[in-house]
Amino acid sequence: MAITMYSASIPTVQHILRSLMHVLDKGEAHAQARKIDPAALTQFRLAPDMLPFTRQILIACDGAKLGVARIAGIEAPKFDDTEVSFADLKARVQKTLDFLATVTPEAMNGTEDKDITFPISRDKTRTMKAEDYLRHWMLPNVFFHVVTAYDILRHNGVELGKSDYLRGSQA
């Protein structure tokens, strides 16, 4: 079977977001087991100029839903960005997964040469062909923010390994 815009995007981001859900479960369990204020993890940042854990989750979800919506030419759901707890963050990931499940192959396939214009800062945009956008912008950004969230928890002693990051939908 040939790789399509759908197969390269939807199952890929669903997989990494399911892994993220698992990582969030482990982070929450770690905080409970060690009687750590969960905010010590959710507000942690690896460096002073990096965004905290919570923002990494929100951006990963936004990257997935907005990227897919741009490619498919559909409206992405709007989320309020009010999440603070592990439960809130898991609900955000689930809402993103629920949206992705509604996107059909027909909406994605055949869009490879479509121009995608997207913001790269508050006052700048960039335009790329949809296939390049998917491969060189959207997916790398989603993975970057998921792995950064993973790294923040790992740095704080949460027992995570590569298999947790690659887990996807495994039980």
> For all residues of the chain together, what is the average pLDDT?
96
Per-residue pLDDT band at 66 (split at 50, 70, 90):
very high
Angstrom distance (rounded) from CA 17 to CA 94: 8
93 within 8 A of 15, measured Cβ to Cβ:
no
Q: What integer is the mean pLDDT of 57-80? A: 97
Of 46, 154, 69, nearest to 116 by C-alpha is 69
Strand locations in the chain, DSSP E?
115-121, 124-129
What pLDDT digit, counting tens, does each position of 111-168 carry? 999 999 999 999 999 999 999 999 999 999 999 999 999 999 999 999 999 999 998 7
What's the pLDDT score for residue 2?
Answer: 86
What pLDDT digit, counting tens, does each position of 11-44 carry? 999 999 999 999 999 999 999 999 999 999 999 9
- Give, to the nearest 10 degrees, the angle between helix 53-72 and helix 86-100: 10
What's the pLDDT score for residue 1?
Answer: 67
What's the pLDDT score for residue 73?
Answer: 97
Of 25, 20, 23, nearest to 59 by C-alpha is 20
Domains defined along the chain, listed by start: 5-165 (1.20.120.450)
Q: What is the pTM of this model?
A: 0.95
Per-residue pLDDT band at 170 (split at 50, 70, 90):
low
What's the pLDDT score for residue 168?
Answer: 72
What's the pLDDT score for residue 92?
Answer: 98
